[in-house]
Structure 1
Amino acid sequence: MADEEISKAFRDLQFKTNETRMRIVQGEQNKKVNYQKMRISESTKKNLVDLDENLKYYRSVGRMFLLTDKPAEISRHEAEAKQSKEKIEAIEKQKDYLEKGLVEAETNLRELIQSRR
């Protein structure tokens, strides 16, 4: 009876550690995507600042283009960069939390294996 409980607890802890590892990897992928978006927005903003005020600025929306002005485009790219940076910070916090949980689960798993011997 106790052996079944131990094996069930072992499976549960193993599942938790595997799921946590997958979530950490997924978070890293999301972080890379948001970092790329942030870099693109910052680069585009930098290029827009150097352009002439009298030019026409178009923004891609789906399959069409909208005519906008320079300050609106600059502020839009600033907002996109800020939003991506905030997402990166949130992902980092979540990663730290998940890593703490992973360490705890691995410790519990080791203790369970030691008690089984």
Structure 2
Amino acid sequence: MSHSAPFSTVHIKETVLLHMRSVYQWSSRTCAVCISSSVKMAAPVDLELKKAFTELQVKMVDTQQKVKLANLQIDQLTRVQKHAKLTHAEITTLPDNTRLYEGVGRMFILQSKEEISNQLTDKQKTADEKIRELEQKKLYLERSVKEAEDNIREMLLSRRAQ
């Protein structure tokens, strides 16, 4: 998001926090202030905004955790993919009659160069597919948070228009 927009993400978060504080302070005051009719009319809107802000905050924290997890998984898969690529590059330089062993637990199994090459290629492909899936998941999560922010922005604008 550019900072030239009327509402940046930082501005919205600050506005949300300020409004949540004011709603909390307002709700924690004594009911003597609630006698005037104008405050009584504002109470449902304030409670509605408070609920929306609370939901947004929970959603943002949850989404941030999911995005961090996706980033960690992407990093790990990138390392696996790079390792498989480097190993495959080394194997292709070896003569065809070279004895190659695959590590399985605490033992090693003799396999042909072609089999190991195919396994490494498959490992690269599956890692690439999983990385793409995780990137799509991250985009979806970021889009859902943006939609929630936009909904709250609309709510704030409609409240200001009243």
- TM-score interval, normalised by the smaller of the two chains: 0.7 to 0.9
Q: Which has the higher contact order (CA 8 A, sep 6+)?
A: 1
Equivalent residue number for residue 9 of structure 2: none
Q: Equivalent residue for 1:45? A: 88
CA distance in 2: counterparts of 1:89 and 1:64, whole angstroms? 33
- Cross-structure match for 2:75: 32
- Whether 1:62 aligns to 2:99 is no
Paired AA for residue 149 in structure 2: E
Q: Which amino acid aligns with 2:110?
A: L
Q: TM-score when scaled to structure 1?
A: 0.87
Matches of 2:98 and 2:108, distance apart in 1: 15
How big is each residue's C-alpha offset from its partner over 1:59-103, in whole Å with a ceiling of 9 and x where there is no partner?
111111111110000000000000000011111111111111111
Shift of 1:116: 6.8
Number of residue pairs matched?
117
1:82 aligns with 2:125: yes
Moved over 3 A (4+): 3-6, 109-117
Matched, 1:6 2:49: yes
Q: Which stretch of structure 1 is more off in the superposition, 15-24 or 104-113?
A: 104-113
Deviation at 1:26, TM superposition (A): 1.3
The farther-off stretch of 100-109 and 15-24 is: 100-109
What are structure 1's unaligned runs of at least 5 residues? none
Please provide the CA RMSD for this pair. 1.9
Gaps (5+ residues) in structure 2? Answer: 1-42
Q: Which amino acid aligns with 1:97?
A: Y
Matched to 2:150, the amino acid is T
Q: Which amino acid aligns with 1:81?
A: Q
How far apart in 2 are the matches of 1:115 and 1:10?
Answer: 15
Provide the rounded CA distance (Å) in 2 between the counterparts of 1:37 and 1:51: 22
Q: Which has the larger radius of gyration?
A: 2
